Amino acid sequence: MKKVSLLLIIAMLGALLAACSSNSNNGNGGNDPAPSNAGTAEPGASADPVTLKIVYKDEGTANPVSVKFFQELEKALQEDEGLNVKFELVDLAQGSYAENLNLLLLGGTIPDIIYFQGGDQQIADQGLLEDLTPYIEKSTYIKDIILPHNKTRMESYPYLLWIKPLAPKTPVIRADWLNAVDSSKALLENPTVDNYYAFFKELVEKKPGGDKPSYALTAAGDIAEINFIFNTAFGLDTTWLKKEDGTYEYSKVSQNEKEKLAFYNKLYSEGLLDPQFITKQWDTKEDAFYKGEAAVITGTAGKIIDLYDGRMKELNGDGANVVVLPPAKGEAQGFGATDVTKESRGLAISSQSPHKDIAFKVFDYLASPKGQELDRLGFENEHYTVKDGQIELNDKYYSEWYARFWEPLEMKSETPLKTPLLGEPGTQSLKAASDYYTEDNSFIIPEQFVANWDAMNNLYKEYSTDFITGKRNLSEFDAFVEAWYAAGGTDVTKYANENIK
């Protein structure tokens, strides 16, 4: 509680200082409960710009594309909406984005616009994030592009906005390596866990890349990415599994989980799973894929898969185009159930910001046809050209560009598109995600259980990592389950059984 109170005091002091130092011509300073319609005479339309601080993973001052994007966005807002806005990109140190963001906020620097990739709920619980519901209701464009799963998530958690297609992580491999191993045919026709194992084993033994790959599979930091391939096959298709007696148990303490961890241990002990997956970050994971140190990785369905495809062909030739692999098949098949309780990542507006209405106007503009052209297509004559009244995307667009903000299923552009937004791998991955879509039965953990829940998850990470690497024998799984229930699992499980419908 002391830590919470300290953060709240810091935030309130920061807001007070910002309010005192903001320009007098900023009108009401964004203190209205909801935004006015875009395009009217609002704060930011004066000669002096309103500065919006934004912290966003990978979008810092060291990234020249990011810098140019926000400069172009400033110009577009001025020309199209009469908003005089200056973006200030807040840089974070290397390492875990969620941890470094938390340190930034604890230090009293609370940007106007914040991208979260975890760690947001504790900030929202302290009243430091703005409820976006009234802004969306009065928006000009966002209310028309928001997707059904976004609406469901916003109803229970209205602080993060992330208008993107449903996009689980999907496994990919180079086409030339896929075609080089005999077991690939069986895998594609019937992707059982056993066929995946045979496929991984042949990749390592046959080495289609010459001396490479060293490993069949790698991941960034933990097994969460690998779970997208295998969880459902082991019957781990929801967070809470319904037992024969009709009650629910947490999936990670189930016998299904034990069987999955035994399979992961088999991959690890036989050298099929990269032993450095625990310490890898997203960039070193991708680097291992491009260099042929690992044959298979997972990436977010859609544009990210296209970026993998473009980069792989750039480094290794057109024959190295990326192919999306199916999820493993067993008790069921899929990339895992979709959590509809809240966005797992997204953009928030600080409740302490003196420019909340201006910040949301930026969000709303990026949902407009002109805003979408900038966000989705990149820079004219660099990522696309206009020929005969149509937009033609080029190779640099497919290999480099991604939307920083919104990606509704249908893009409304003032100029028609001649070429599709996604390449074949990106389209294939989104189709697979849609084909296997199911909803999860998870729920937002009540505040009284949050501290215990964090401890329980840390306990799982410790034990599961040790089981996979062989530091602990799986005969100790029951001891882990007992420790999990003792750490708070009994109360949370009781809550789950009382509230899951």
Structure tokens at 59: 């979008």
Residue 40 confidence (pLDDT) above 90: no
* pLDDT tens-digit series, residues 308-352: 999 999 999 999 999 999 999 999 999 999 888 999 899 999 999
What are 77-128's pLDDT values in tens digits?
999 999 999 999 999 988 889 889 988 998 888 999 999 998 898 899 889 9
Lowest mean pLDDT, pick from 105-114, 130-139, 181-190, 359-368: 105-114
Q: Is residue 11 scored above 50 in pLDDT?
A: no
What is the average per-residue pLDDT within 266-275? 97
Beta carbons within 10 angstroms of residue 3's beta carbon: 10
271/125 Cα distance (integer angstroms)? 43
Q: Which CATH number describes the domain made up of 2-164+343-413?
A: 3.40.190.10
Per-domain residue ranges for the chain?
Answer: 2-164+343-413, 169-337+442-451
pLDDT at 29: 35
Selected residue with higher pLDDT from 364 and 282: 364
Classify domain 169-337+442-451 at the CATH superfamily level. Periplasmic binding protein-like II (3.40.190.10)
2-164+343-413 shares its CATH topology with 169-337+442-451: yes
Q: Exposed/middle/buried for 137, CB within 10 Å: 0-12, 13-18, 19+?
A: exposed
- Asked if residue 483 has pLDDT above 80, the reply is yes
How much is the pTM? 0.74
Residue 42: strand, helix, or coil: coil
Q: Which two tokens stand for residue 53?
A: 């601080």
Percent of the chain with pLDDT over 70: 91
Q: Which of 401, 439, 409 is nearest to 168 (CA)?
A: 439
Residue 182 CB burial class (10 angstroms; 0-12, 13-18, ≥19): exposed
Ranges of beta strands (E only) in 184-258 are 215-217, 240-242, 248-250
- Percent helix, strand, coil in the chain, to 5, is 45, 15, 40
In this predicted structure, what is the pLDDT of residue 411? 86
Q: Is the pLDDT of residue 14 over 60?
A: no
Predicted pLDDT at 64: 94
